[in-house]
Structure 1
């Protein structure tokens, strides 16, 4: 291509960019931004069941909005806490400090929960050790923090079936509400307020969860519609089994109790309750009622519980997604009436994908299986003891990393970096470990271009993380769950990123590869505020 052609192309690109900016400037800011996070929803499921979706649930995004079909998390430890911390900060764990759901404190050896804060309590509920009560472990600001700093009249509300699914999107300046599995209500914490507002108390007095007592989860479609997913009661479901129709809780109970309320989480019913509470928040806080933009983050936790219990390939997971699709359709129609169809922007994504069940993969002739964390630690310790004549040089596993025993290393007069290199070698000598990097390598960036090094560096924070970060081979997992997530492999990192809002979003499929860190700066541009300070993404072009 000659120089004149290159200049013409550059000029055209610049004109298009200015046209997009002008279009955004001409459109009013959305009065309400609604972020839906479907916990544990891989991108492939959205496409696999598209023909079975309702006309105006997920299809509102797919048929009338923008679908980024190649959206990825570019980090290595893809779990709920880390994912939710990324969504509205635009940053991975190497900046947010939220490296997982929980991790080990290297100094004390004690467990740290991502939203744990012993100085705060649930309002009206007992608070246990490691319960999530505040965002103090989040080291960076969120979109909601920027929005409220730009105009304190803005409301930032987050609601979820999980504490971390509400607290991390709410940031430091928003308000988080979470489902209480002991009694089916929703509560906030003393970090945000001393007492609930009247609309929350009214919602909880209605005891909406009780309407599902002795109600069965019924399949939405005829049996033939589920031929593309695995049948119920697979042998690897374990002694609990799993089939539809499904009764929730204990059928012998005469009234609802903690077992019943907890069982709602792995069903469509907790998501229905979460959306009901979000409706109450829209009405109670007058979200979207004036020209000051508000932000509502709704994390729908049920899909993650379902996929952990029965796998994303199961009929239960397929039906759960279809049930959730119908719940979203109803919620959209209510927002259309209460806020106005042309006054709000909706975005849907996930905090991570899901690995297929190892036993199902084995049945298809695919190498897959489980790794014992206890056995892995013991094997590395044995190798280190043979080399250094010192026991227990690995003190634990933390967020996909080995934590070295600093006290023992110092007492023996050993060089820390030498022990770390030996630990890495011992790790890689174990079956089904694909890559591992030491603290020194991650700090220096010295292995750039090595397998998964960039993703692992994005997941690693020097103040919080362990000392030798590692990745398993594809289809190998830790833990006894039917299925899980937490790797940099595509099944865990490839998630939907869907946008809808006629005034701001040009409909169509967007085939380019984008990062989930692009979400926060894109919303910031639409809201005409600065992106969160730690954001590492770029604004996406959405303008109609």
Structure 2
């Protein structure tokens, strides 16, 4: 009897074990189905959120609308720090944290140790690969933390490929992380080639060489820039001939059509493609060549392709956010995205890839245009402000040599002068911060001492604190009035913590992503941990974001 009971329970154990094994196998199969073969990160440089809604009726069904309607559309995504610049935005997307941790505090900034102005990805230790210029003397060495792209390599024992492409060097290098298999950017001027750095490789891959020889760039520069649809249908933007835009060199007016072939000579030859929609088309074509050349999405490991469309930023800076040019640029980008998504379906397979689309920052409307509508806005005079600050230090401390540098809305004190005069540094900071608030155009000011010793939970000072890096940032930080910029009166820019600069699109689409929308606030730093969750790797090592669980299947 005892033997029979033993056999009975053994049979039950075996049966339930088999059921459990089948269940586990089913779950594993499901996980493998939702885990993508390729992740694509798309960053559109200087894309305001309202470009999705303003131009919606002009978009086709296969570009922005496809991922908005069939993916998960986050309607209230924002940058949660100041400053909102290209290098900072790309780094924050991919590291899942803010300048406080990742160390990229601007595109360029004053290095208070080297006593010089530095560029975020310059690195003289490396050489250009692909041309005889100096455009390849770059690396991500100033980025202090890992990226989601680094974590893909770390989490897969250095398997899986990471490729990053953009017209701008910083927009390719920083998303690629420290371990990218390749980061490629466009060398304009008289070069007209995609290049890289010896940080990544000693020779261009054959597919890059083939693209550089293909003549595609010359072809894209051979046609004038005209509107995709009749210009009189562009009712979402202001008049083509207006006083708020900057013209190309050689043009009489900043209006359509733009005679691209004849403008090349006066506008740095191949560099002209950066400032027209064809630059986005070129980037899309090169990204497709990368997918084929590197066989992305074809192995048992997860690959990652980072793409940044930079031409939108150049057009926005030159013509402003309300121009016919910006409207046409987004209409044409929509067509490029539609073609790219079809390419992914065919090359990688629908259901085998996951992508996100966002922006590195948005942009302010041209202050002069806002003024014409009686909306406050203006232009910050850097030279007058510098004299004002030196007047303060002379009045309080008897010297005009106490300030070493003013840039990026930060004031750097001269530490040797502070020490020589036996001054208390925190006191000097506070005096200047208290006084500059009286300068026309300054809205907020705060000292480094306050940012280190206090915690701000909301508002502009919270954004400043998340953008402040104790090691690299200045002694006093200040914020201009809303819609007030340090920029010429033609065209527009970005960099603030106001919603016109922080509110950007965020759409997830593909394997592992639910279909839906949300108006819940999410900071942009939530992208990296969300992608980490989907592909089952550790978060970047400086991560402060949270995975967006509502989008996950």
When normalised by structure 2's length, the TM-score is 0.90
CA displacement 1:53-95 (0-9 Å, x = unmatched): 1110011111111100000000010000100110111011000
What does 1:231-270 align with in structure 2 at a 5 Å threshold? 231-238=239-246, 240=248, 241-248=253-260, 250-251=262-263, 259-270=268-279
Cα 1:405–1:118 shift into 2, 3 Å:
same
**Secondary structure of 1:509's match?**
strand
Residue 540 (structure 1) shift: 0.8
Q: Is the counterpart of residue 133 in structure 1 residue 138 in structure 2?
A: yes
The aligned counterpart of 1:150 is 155
Other-structure match for 2:22: none
Contact 1:399 1:465 in 2 (8 A): no
Matches within 5 A, 1:169-318: 169-174=175-180, 175-182=182-189, 183-238=191-246, 240=248, 241-248=253-260, 250-251=262-263, 259-318=268-327
Q: Structure 1 pair 23/449, CA: closer, same or farther in 2 (3 Å)?
A: farther
Residue 171 of structure 1, CA deviation: 0.4
Q: Which residue of 1 aligns with 2:46?
A: 40
Q: Which position in structure 2 is the counterpart of 1:405?
A: 414
Deviations 1:225-249 (A, max 9, x none): 2112112232132464422221225
Alignment check: 8 A CA contact 1:141 1:534 kept = yes
Change (3 A) 1:61 1:239: closer
Q: Does 1:111 align with 2:117?
A: yes
Residues 206 and 417 of structure 1, relative CA distance in 2, 3 Å threshold: same
CA contact (8 A) 1:114 1:164 kept: yes
Partner SS state of residue 164, structure 2:
strand
Runs of 4+ displaced beyond 3 Å = 21-28, 126-129, 238-241, 249-253
Q: 1:24 to 1:377 in 2, by over 3 A?
A: farther
Question: What is the rounded CA distance, in whole Å, between the counterparts of 1:282 and 1:369 in structure 2?
Answer: 45
What is the SS of the residue equivalent to 1:512? coil
**Contact in 1 for aligned 2:221/2:273 (Cα 8 Å):** no
TM-superposed CA distance for 1:184, in Å, is 2.1
The answer to whether structure 1 residue 500 and structure 2 residue 509 are counterparts is yes
> What is the aligned residue count?
518
Name the structure 1 match of 2:492: 483
Identify which of 371, 375, 382 aligns with 2:391: 382
- Residues 74 and 217 of structure 1: is their aligned pair in 2 closer, same or farther, counting only changes over 3 Å? same
Q: Which whole-Å CA distance do the structure 2 matches of 1:161 and 1:361 have between them?
A: 31
Post-superposition offset of 1:392: 2.7
SS in 2 for 1:496: strand
**In 2: Cα distance, 1:112 partner to 1:252 partner:** 30
The Cα of 1:167 is off from its aligned counterpart by 0.3
Residue 523 of structure 1: aligned partner: 531
- Assess, with a 3 A threshold, how the Cα gap between structure 1 residues 132 and 464 changes in structure 2: closer, same or farther: farther
Q: What is the distance in 2 between the residues matched to 1:163 and 1:265?
A: 12
Per-residue deviation, residues 120-174 of structure 1 (Å, max 9, x unmatched):
1221334549x76100000000011111112222100110010000000000001
Measured in 2, the distance between the counterparts of 1:252 and 1:471 equals 38
**Equivalent position to 2:545, from 519, 525, 537:** 537
Distance 2:219 2:34 in 1: 41
- 1:335-384 Cα shifts (integer Å, max 9, x gaps): 11111011011210000010110110000001111002222121111111
TM-score w.r.t. length of structure 1 = 0.92
**In the aligned structure 2, how far is the partner of 1:58 from the partner of 1:89?**
25
Report the Cα distance in structure 2 between the residues aligned to 1:213 and 1:66, rounded to whole angstroms. Answer: 36
Deviations 1:159-215 (A, max 9, x none): 001000000000000121001112221111011011111111111111311113341
Matched, 1:509 2:491: no
| Structure 2 counterpart of 1:17 | none
Range with bigger deviation, 431-440 or 295-304: 431-440
Q: Which runs of 5+ in 2 are unaligned?
A: 1-26
- Rg bigger for which structure? 2
Native 8 Å contact 1:213 1:260 kept in 2: no
- Aligned-partner Cα distance in 1 for 2:67–2:478: 37
Is residue 51 of structure 1 aligned with residue 57 of structure 2? yes
* 1:132/1:163 contact within 8 Å kept: no
**Conserved 8 A contact 2:78-2:504:** yes
* Cα gap change, 1:533 to 1:108, in 2 (>3 Å): closer
2 CA distance for matches of 1:442 and 1:214?
52
Q: Deviations over 1:442-492 (max 9, x none)?
A: 11125x257412110111111111111111111101122621000000000
* Residue 131 of structure 2 corresponds to residue 122 of structure 1: no
Alpha-carbon distance between aligned partners in 2 of 1:457 and 1:157, rounded to the nearest angstrom: 32
Maintained 8 Å contact 1:214/1:247: no
Q: Does structure 2 retain, via aligned residues, the 8 Å contact 1:249–1:263?
A: no
Where does the alignment leave 5 or more consecutive residues of structure 1 unmatched? 1-20
User: Could you tell me whether the CA contact under 8 Å between 2:98 and 2:466 is conserved in 1?
Assistant: yes
The 2-side partners of 1:316 and 1:433 are apart by 32
Give the distance between the partners of 1:24 and 1:473, measured in 2 at CA: 52
Name the counterpart of 2:21.
Answer: none
- Local SS of the residue matching 1:227: coil
Counterpart Cα distance in 2 of 1:508 and 1:425: 47
Question: Is residue 369 of structure 2 the alignment partner of residue 363 of structure 1?
Answer: no
- Does 2:77 align with 1:78? no
Assess if the C-alpha contact under 8 Å between 1:248 and 1:260 holds in 2: no
